[in-house]
A and B are shown apart, each in its own frame.
Chain A
Amino acid sequence: MQDATAVVNDVPDLDFEGWACPVPLRDVPSVVMGHGGGGAMSGELIEHLFLPAYGAAAAADLGDSAVLTVGSGTRLAFSTDSFVVKPMFFPGGSIGDLAVNGTVNDLAMSGATPLFLSTAFILAEGTALSDLGRIAQAVGRAAEDAGVRLVTGDTKVVEHGSGDGVYLNTSGIGVIPPGVDIHARRALPGDAVLVSGDIGVHGVAVMSCREGLEFGTTVESDTAALHGLVAAMLATGTDLHVLRDPTRGGVSASLNEIARASDVGIELVERLLPVPPAVRDACSLLGLDPLQVANEGKLIAIVPAEDADRVLAAMRAHPLGRSACRIGSCVPDHTGMVVAKTGLGGSRVIGLPIGEQLPRIC
């Protein structure tokens, strides 16, 4: 055991002039997990690899959902998303629910009414057909609940070891009603920032049953299709400026994206954030920030401040928005940045998550 006196007497006068740090690790030469994390690394991949490679064929921003005008001015929303969640089944849902709701929500965030979905399965050799059956049933149920038709599909199998269970891609098409113009670039200083309910729930539910991390929790994934809630918000007649479903990277990633796209600052009030106790405790245990944890059935809305109460009332009247609340405002200061007022009265910048969320050592 350490002897304290020995410590005191043994220490030489160290030369702190020589304190040094290592050279930088430059960009990684191959794909790492963080490239799919939805944070800064994913963004760099799009900006520096995909967009230059696609050249003139690429649309401007390759966002979550594209708005396409066809024929006599009908606007279609088009979106695609791949699902590789592990484990495939988790408290409150499965990869099947996520694959339908995820794409439906991407469409809904542009104000579209989702209509048609494709499903493409990539299956690992050896996957139990009973598991695939459960997932397919979940896809069917979720699509029926969301009122979308599954119109085309594809199935491929990869050799054992090349994949992992079931990967699922869905693409979707919806129609945007006339007069609706919802986009990440439309946030204005003074706008209110609303959230439709408790945050961090899905991420904690999935983490709670991940291998090696099983912890007792009653948290179930919040996966849900949000277009009904969006329709209720649109029915108030309010000019909704921005909608986002804060999935990977959580509320933090969505708000950072909006702040940059709209060139506004966003100010959150930490004590107003709806973080359920089970999520707060799990995050505290793992050293994670609830603002960076994924959601699957929540949306963020940026609306004119004078309409905030009306929109909130409509959200609260909908089953998926019962605990909707205002969490902050858009401000003219610190443009492109999200800043939270802490419970004690200090402030902190809410950064964009870099890659994967890593539990801290202690």
Chain B
Amino acid sequence: MKYLEEFSDPDLAKKLIDQIHAATTRKWALMEVCGGQTHSIIRHGIDQLLPDSVEMIHGPGCPVCVTPLETIDRALAIAARPGVVFCSFGDMLRVPGSSQDLFSVKSAGGDVRVVYSPLDALKIARENPDREVVFFGIGFETTAPANAMTVYQAQRFGVRNFSLLVSHVLVPPAIAAIMESSTCRVQAFLAAGHVCSVMGTAEYPPLARKYKVPIVVTGFEPLDILEGVRRTVVQLEAGRHEVENAYPRAVREEGNVPAMEMLADVFEVTDRTWRGIGAIPRSGWRLSEKYRAFDAEQRFDVTDIHTAESSLCRSGEVLQGLIKPHLCEAFGKECTPRNPLGATMVSSEGACAAYYTHRRLELVDAK
């Protein structure tokens, strides 16, 4: 695939790594916001190649990880109903609710289907007018436009048996929440490139100014991440805190205007609870008044399902960079990708799962 392999070139990577080493004179703590970036960092062993004084903290940008237990329990309740076809992206199937997961609902006879686009769910709805088809619409600003488009089309074509279980969350309020925390150690952010390709970069200068942190919009391939780190370190060393776009091949300052218009039509800002973090005001989207009829929570009357998160695992501290995943007592023992205690162990993009899958070697060495 053109423009992919080129961004893994080992020689260019070596040059960037050398430049980062040369530029670094003291300790810095950087947070990569997006789970896709965490996955890439661990997958390619990028953090092993950075100076010891540059620490990567793995941020809360994995949509599977931050979807609250309550929402998953609501999804399970809907999926178990007769006559419902429950459609989801694949990796949500293994996320545990308080007593089961979507795989279990499926094995008990529920019609749970993996789709690769919400528009596929709409197609299923049109082909099965006697069934209620629900799509599990989770994720950040990245997955939202396709979900918005699906609801828009459902209304336009009068597909009344389709609905969306919405749990969208937004990156900028999460960055603000992390910086407002009294225990915050983060000194700079690699912003999520694909979020910015939708939303543009205008939301970030106020954050950079208020919290005096460099924010560098960064892509996902090894060279993208190294360039993001390099620019961030250069800013930190120079005492600057600006917004830079290190992913210009995908991100324009103004974002994807038609997508943003559709988002503004279909969704409205709402308070959201983040799994492992808690409630953050104005940190998510729900369907706007105009499209409320497609809200699965209302249609299936599951808003009474409330689930409290237990306090057994330490993913909150992991997400905040206070501990590395393997320092949690449950890591690799009670808590594995096979039996995840917390959501950061569930998705392959979650920090704990990435450590478990790709990092057990050095953990063995360290013990």
Q: Closest CB-CB distance, A128 to chain B, in whole Å?
A: 21
Q: Given that A25-B100, A360-B91 are known contacts, is A16 also in contact with B338, CB under 8 Å in the complex?
A: no
Q: Is A48 an interface residue (CB 8 A)?
A: no
Q: Is B129 an interface residue (CB 8 A)?
A: no
B337 nearest CB neighbor, chain A only:
A354
Q: Is B170 an interface residue (CB 8 A)?
A: yes
- Chain B CB within 10 Å — which of A16, A271, A345 has the most? A16
Taking CB atoms, residues of chain A closer than 8 Å to B310 are: 20-23
Query: Is there contact, CB below 8 Å, between A344 and B172?
Result: no
Q: Given that A4-B207, A7-B172, A41-B338 are known contacts, is A361 also in contact with B316, CB under 8 Å in the complex?
A: no
Taking CB atoms, residues of chain A closer than 8 Å to B276 are: 19-21
* C-alpha spacing A347/B49, complex, angstroms: 10
Query: Is there contact, CB below 8 Å, between A344 and B49?
Result: yes
* C-alpha spacing A348/B42, complex, angstroms: 7
Query: Is there contact, CB below 8 Å, between B340 and A342?
Result: no
Q: Is A12 an interface residue (CB 8 A)?
A: yes
* C-alpha spacing A337/B120, complex, angstroms: 39
Q: Is A351 an interface residue (CB 8 A)?
A: yes
* C-alpha spacing A353/B278, complex, angstroms: 32
Query: Is there contact, CB below 8 Å, between A21 and B315?
Result: yes
Q: Is A30 an interface residue (CB 8 A)?
A: yes
Q: Is A55 an interface residue (CB 8 A)?
A: no
**Proximity bits, A1-36, B CB within 8 Å = 1, else 0:** 110111110111111101111111111111111100
Query: Is there contact, CB below 8 Å, between B340 and A25?
Result: yes
Q: Is A237 an interface residue (CB 8 A)?
A: no
* C-alpha spacing A10/B104, complex, angstroms: 40
Which residue of the partner chain, among A33, A213, A346, contacts B103 with CB atoms under 8 Å?
A: A33
Chain A interface: which size bin? 35 or more
Number of interface residues of B (CB under 8 A): 107
Taking CB atoms, residues of chain B closer than 8 Å to A347 are: 45, 48, 361
Query: Is there contact, CB below 8 Å, between B176 and A7?
Result: yes
Query: Is there contact, CB below 8 Å, between B176 and A11?
Result: yes
* C-alpha spacing A23/B345, complex, angstroms: 12
Query: Is there contact, CB below 8 Å, between A21 and B361?
Result: no
Q: Is B281 an interface residue (CB 8 A)?
A: yes
**Proximity bits, A320-362, B CB within 8 Å = 1, else 0:** 0000000000000010010100111111110100110011111
Which residue of the partner chain, among A11, A23, A31, A359, contacts B280 with CB atoms under 8 Å?
A: A11
Taking CB atoms, residues of chain A closer than 8 Å to B92 are: 361
Query: Is there contact, CB below 8 Å, between B277 and A361?
Result: no
Which residue of the partner chain, among A20, A23, A280, A359, contacts B316 with CB atoms under 8 Å?
A: A20
* C-alpha spacing A4/B208, complex, angstroms: 11
Q: Is B256 an interface residue (CB 8 A)?
A: no
Query: Is there contact, CB below 8 Å, between A22 and B48?
Result: no
Which residue of the partner chain, among B36, B202, B316, contacts A21 with CB atoms under 8 Å?
A: B316
Query: Is there contact, CB below 8 Å, between A359 and B104?
Result: no
Which residue of the partner chain, among B104, B180, B182, B269, contacts A2 with CB atoms under 8 Å?
A: B269
Which residue of the partner chain, among A8, A32, A358, contacts B206 with CB atoms under 8 Å?
A: A8
* C-alpha spacing A337/B4, complex, angstroms: 29
Q: Is A281 an interface residue (CB 8 A)?
A: yes
> Which of B22-30, B107-115, B227-235, B289-297 faces chain A?
B107-115
**Proximity bits, B180-213, A CB within 8 Å = 1, else 0:** 1111000000000010000100111111001000
Q: Is A287 an interface residue (CB 8 A)?
A: yes
Query: Is there contact, CB below 8 Å, between B277 and A14?
Result: yes
Taking CB atoms, residues of chain B closer than 8 Å to A28 are: 100-101, 103-104, 107
**Proximity bits, A200-238, B CB within 8 Å = 1, else 0:** 000000000000110000000000000000000000000
Q: Is B343 an interface residue (CB 8 A)?
A: yes
Q: Is A284 an interface residue (CB 8 A)?
A: yes
Query: Is there contact, CB below 8 Å, between A8 and B210?
Result: yes
* C-alpha spacing A271/B8, complex, angstroms: 11
Query: Is there contact, CB below 8 Å, between A25 and B91?
Result: no
Q: Is B324 an interface residue (CB 8 A)?
A: no
Question: Could you tell me which residues of chain B, from 295 to 326, have a CB within 8 Å of some CB in chain A?
Answer: 309-317, 319-320, 322
* C-alpha spacing A34/B90, complex, angstroms: 13
Question: Could you tell me which residues of chain B, from 130 to 188, have a CB within 8 Å of some CB in chain A?
Answer: 138-140, 142-143, 170, 172-173, 176-177, 180-183
Query: Is there contact, CB below 8 Å, between B98 and A22?
Result: yes
Q: Given that A12-B180, A21-B314, A24-B339 are known contacts, is A342 also in contact with B44, CB under 8 Å in the complex?
A: yes
Query: Is there contact, CB below 8 Å, between B176 and A8?
Result: yes
B17 nearest CB neighbor, chain A only:
A344
Q: Is B263 an interface residue (CB 8 A)?
A: yes
Q: Is B358 an interface residue (CB 8 A)?
A: yes
- A-B pairs with beta carbons under 8 Å apart, 5 shown: A4-B172, A16-B183, A20-B311, A22-B342, A358-B90
| Other A-B pairs, 6, CB within 8 Å; known A11-B280, A344-B45 | A4-B205, A18-B316, A20-B276, A26-B339, A351-B356, A360-B91
- Across the A-B interface, give the 5 residue pairs with the lowest CB-CB distance, nearest first: A346-B45, A19-B316, A21-B342, A25-B96, A21-B313
Binding site for A on B (CB under 8 A): 1, 4, 8, 10, 13-14, 36, 42-49, 63-64, 69, 89-94, 96-101, 103-104, 106-108, 113-116, 120, 138-140, 142-143, 170, 172-173, 176-177, 180-183, 194, 199, 202-207, 210, 222, 260, 263-264, 269, 275-278, 280-282, 309-317, 319-320, 322, 334-335, 337-344, 347-349, 356-361, 364
